[in-house]
Structure 1
Amino acid sequence: MPVPLYEAKAAFFRMPGHPVRIRVLELLQDGPMSVRDLLAAIEVEPSNLSQQLAALRRSGIVTATRTGSTVIYEPADGDVAELLAAARRILSMLPAGRQDLLAELRGTELAR
């Protein structure tokens, strides 16, 4: 029996639902990155990053290319960037009690 669309959407939205995965997706918007570069930017344990990258690969959200001993990751397509931008727009409309988050959102927009 086929999976209903609403269940497929729920599974899709759970996929990027980890802070490290979100950060990886944000970083990859600027271009492909090696595992070494991702580790330096995210500052997590290599095993944790590896686990999160594997989940993103399995879902098809990112692709990996090996060149010698270096693995380069990049988004599978531009729709991921659109999804992250939509999340940013939605979060920027949060109630006034979330000024800390709004300040961070505005700061990262300036950095891009």
Structure 2
Amino acid sequence: MDEMGSASGGPRVGTPLYQLKAEFFKTLGHPVRIRVLELLSEREHAVAEMLPEVGVEPASLSQQLAVLRRANLVVTRREGSHVYYRLTHPQTVELLRVARGILSGVLEGQAEILADLRAARPGG
């Protein structure tokens, strides 16, 4: 999904861009979806390959893949009885990298605060 798309796959005329962005981030707001996108950042995967990596039941993975398909974040191809998924937009890899960097910075800041608290004298 691009900045003008919606979770249902199509643009909605007149919807503010900030709202579309919020819907986009809601689509990303599930751990299984993030893990799937991380796996697909490496290479195309068959559904069976992803199952042990995401640690959910096949029905749950299928449901999350459907959300990503509707949002146009992944596309499929069939080869025999296997369905393969890949990222629709290469920029998704960059988005995940930036998110990791932001999260690392936040956690480093929290670790510094925790260290300061532990080093502080009682009542000080």
Shift of residue 43 of structure 1? 1.6
2:51 to 23, 36, 39: 39
Structure 2, unmatched stretches of 5+, are 1-12, 113-124
Q: Give me the whole-angstrom Cα distance separating, in 2, the residues matched to 1:39 and 1:64.
A: 16
**Matching residue of 1:82:** 94
Write the letter of the residue equivalent to 2:30.
Answer: H
Structure 1, unmatched stretches of 5+, are 99-112
1:10 to 16, 22, 31: 22
- After superposing on structure 2, the runs of 4+ consecutive aligned residues of structure 1 that deviate more than 4 Å are none
Q: Give me the whole-angstrom Cα distance separating, in 2, the residues matched to 1:67 and 1:34.
A: 10
Alignment partner of 1:15: what SS?
helix
**Matching residue of 2:36:** 24
Shift of residue 68 of structure 1? 1.8
Under a length normalisation based on structure 1, what TM-score does the superposition of the two structures give?
Answer: 0.83
**Matching residue of 1:102:** none
Alignment partner of 1:73: what SS?
strand
Task: Count matched residues.
Answer: 98
Under a length normalisation based on structure 2, what TM-score does the superposition of the two structures give?
Answer: 0.75
